[in-house]
Copies of this chain bind each other. A is one copy, B any other.
């Protein structure tokens, strides 16, 4: 009685990854220049096909690793895109994922080989197929996610200043935040460690570096995390 679904249609399933990074220029997305037809030479998200023996999460992780060399990255499934004519080559349903990476850590050799580039989210080229929709979804989800998870820390280096954290949240939410209110809200979460170490790049006075306290955070997540900026 197994294989009783044999009369049903089978389709191609792909994953496409919206990869977010952050540096002093703002919030960015990693895009790749397609080197095959159709739409050769156009910009695209990083994608790949689901193999029969893996889950979608595995496929997304595999694709991310393939293009960036990174592992153990925060990823989240977004949405399945399935319009009949979304891919002109063959009927393909694509499940979009987004990832938050520390822009300093990825393998820059790899992305050069793939003709990949970082684009500021406010200055992106038109993408192939429905990839623009996917990006719009991802940005919406990321904005919402700031209120339920400390997403910011995924995007920053291990040690960072309050100013960097503030500017990251401003970039994600696309609005100005009050410095004092921001700092007191972040401090009230009680998930940061203030280091005895200053970053001297940004000013003459120098600003303290902070780290994310994973233990305190894990304890907090079990109860409740909420951050309204």
Residues of A at the B interface (CB closer than 8 Å) are: 1-6, 8-13, 36-38, 49-57, 77, 79-80, 82-84, 88-93, 95
Q: Once the chains bind, are B13 and A11 in contact (CB under 8 Å)?
A: yes
Contacts of A4 in B (CB 8 A): 36-37, 89
Looking at the assembled complex, report how far the CB atom of A147 sits from the nearest CB atom of chain B, in whole angstroms: 11
- Asked if B93 and A50 make an inter-chain contact with CB atoms under 8 angstroms apart, the answer reads yes
| Docked CA distance A82–B60 (Å) | 12
Question: A11 to chain B: which residues have CB within 8 Å?
Answer: 10-11, 13, 50, 52
| Bound Cα distance A53, B90 (Å) | 11
Cα-based distance from A61 to B13 in the complex (angstroms)? 21
Hey, which chain B residues are within 8 Å of A83, CB to CB?
A: 55
What CA separation (Å) do A51 and B84 show in the bound complex?
10
Q: Which of B6, B12, B54 contacts A5 (CB 8 A)?
A: B12
Instruction: List the B side residues contacting A49 at CB < 8 Å.
Output: 5, 8-9
Chain B residues lying within 8 Å of A95, measured Cβ to Cβ, are 80
- Asked, given contacts A1-B38, A77-B80, whether A9 binds B55 with beta carbons under 8 Å apart, the answer is no
Closest to A52 in B: B9
Complex interface: chain B residues within 8 A of A82 (CB): 50, 55-57
Please name 25 pairs of A and B residues whose Cβ atoms are closer than 8 Å in the assembled complex, sorted by A: A2-B90, A3-B89, A5-B12, A5-B49, A5-B89, A5-B92, A6-B90, A8-B12, A8-B49, A9-B12, A9-B51, A10-B12, A11-B11, A11-B13, A13-B93, A50-B82, A50-B93, A52-B91, A53-B84, A55-B82, A55-B84, A56-B80, A56-B82, A77-B80, A80-B95
